Amino acid sequence: MTPERWQQIAAVLDEVLDLDPAERPAALDALCGTDPDLRREVSDMLEAELPDFLNEDAAVFAAPALAEQDRAAARHTVGPYRILRELGRGGMGVVYLAERDEVDRQVALKLIRGGLADPALRERFLHEQRVLARLEHPHIARLYDVGIADDGTPFFALEYVEGEPLDRYCDDHRLPLDARLRLFEAVGRAVQHAHQHFVVHRDLKPSNILVSEDEAGQAQVKLLDFGIAKVVAEAEEAGREQATQTGTRLLTPAYAAPEQIRGEAVTAATDVYSLGVVLYELLTGRRPYEVIGHGGAQAVLTQEPKRPSTAVTDE
């Protein structure tokens, strides 16, 4: 299996794994379109699904597409960081828990797929991240360090945050409306701070907003990956080869703004739109659109969402 093919399969798997088995066939029809081989390959993997599929089998399937990051991990070090364990994988690359011994700090080390072969592009990458490193706010995870590994793989060393995604935390703790709004207000203040420093997130969603509890048991939010999507998107735009091979864009369709779906310029308004989707979901327990995969994202352009009050009463 080629890395490019795995990227296609992984994108479909991400969408259908959380669905009930009865809902998967229709979702596969919508996601795979006119590619029956893709549907068959994904179906075969789903049929072989084991209880720990996401933790082990997916890593095996993903190995070809993420070979560069795996080779770096096999060396147990990336730059000055010693890798401890894998935290997760996504569209941009792999995230590891790592440690820098001389400063006794654990970080979330994000290795970006694709690499940066062009020296000018590397310098641009490092400059952009030096700007982002100055973004300080209590509700934004700090960017401690950036660099490029010996094999050309870009990496980010971010504040390691242990917490739950915003939507899951609110549901698991059965938070009332006012408590949900207080957490969302903190998120809004963090986004406003970033916008005042001319930094746009581009991929705001509950999984990028983690909630943990302080020593007093009070919920605290942290926003992850601020500005990273922008830098990676610009790298792919400049290189073109990676974007052409994978056929993907760095966005999450269910939370993407219309201009992202259309491939237009991203502004601070893009983040505001995504925040609106997050708030809608926190208040109603559902998203304003039924978006399945990048193809289904056209719903954002063509459908009018229900008013939140109507969405709740229809439940």
Pairwise CA distance, residues 218 & 213, whole Å: 5
Greater confidence (23 vs 54) lies with: 23
pLDDT tier for residue 121 given thresholds of 50, 70 and 90: low
Contact 207, 168 (CB under 8 A): no
Specify the pLDDT at position 268: 92
Specify the pLDDT at position 226: 78
70 carries an active-site annotation: no
pLDDT tier for residue 60 given thresholds of 50, 70 and 90: very low
Q: Which two tokens stand for residue 126?
A: 């490092």
Specify the pLDDT at position 46: 73
Residue ranges and CATH numbers for the domains of the chain are: 1-62 (no CATH), 66-161 (3.30.200.20), 163-223+251-315 (1.10.510.10)
Per DSSP, the residues of 149-182 read -TTS-EEEEEE----EEHHHHHHHTT--HHHHHH
Q: For the chain, what percent of residues have pLDDT higher than 70? A: 68
The dihedral sign for the CA sequence 302, 267, 236, 133: negative
* Catalytic position from the list 203, 225, 271, 314: 203
Residues 6+ apart with CB under 8 A from 267: 200, 259
What's the whole-model pTM score? 0.69
The angle that helices 119-133 and 228-239 make with each other, rounded to 10 degrees, is: 170
pLDDT tier for residue 61 given thresholds of 50, 70 and 90: very low
pLDDT in tens, 200-248: 888 899 999 999 999 898 999 999 987 665 655 555 555 544 433 333 4
Pairwise CA distance, residues 105 & 81, whole Å: 10
pLDDT tier for residue 49 given thresholds of 50, 70 and 90: very low
pLDDT tier for residue 308 given thresholds of 50, 70 and 90: confident
- What is the Cβ-side half-sphere exposure of residue 240, based on CA atoms within 13 angstroms? 1
How far apart, in Å, are the Cα atoms of 260 and each of 2, 40, 187, 195? 28, 30, 21, 18
Specify the pLDDT at position 38: 85
